[in-house]
């Protein structure tokens, strides 16, 4: 049994697939692609990434999430 705030594996996979679809559209729209090997972080609880922002440095090509509660 899952906590009401915990995402089921099926939902995590579905959210990941939807994210990739939207990321593809963003890449096509803005001409920016991301290469990430093993660097994906998946939320396990509803609202877990509510306050996340991204830190980006165009000169190095770095982009990473900033979790204010971490």
C-alpha torsion angle, residues 23, 9, 48, 45 (rounded to 10): 160
Write the CA distances from 25 to 3, 50, 55, 56, integer angstroms: 33, 22, 21, 19
pLDDT reported for residue 70? 65
Q: Can you tell me the distance from the alpha carbon of 14 to that of 39, in angstroms, rounded to the nearest whole number? A: 18
- The pLDDT tens digits for 2-61 are 566 788 999 999 999 999 999 999 999 999 999 999 999 999 999 999 999 999 999 999
Q: The tokens of 47 are what?
A: 């609202």
The residues spanned by each domain of the chain are 9-66
Is 90 exceeded by the pLDDT of residue 69?
no
pLDDT reported for residue 42? 95
């Amino acid at each position: 049994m899952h906590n009401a705030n915990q995402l089921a594996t099926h939902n995590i996979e579905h959210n990941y697939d939807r994210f990739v679809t939207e990321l593809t559209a963003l890449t096509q729209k803005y001409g920016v692609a991301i290469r990430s090997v093993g660097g994906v972080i998946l939320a396990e609880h509803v609202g877990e990434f509510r306050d996340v922002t991204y830190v980006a440095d165009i000169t190095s090509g770095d982009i990473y999430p900033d979790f204010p509660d971490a």
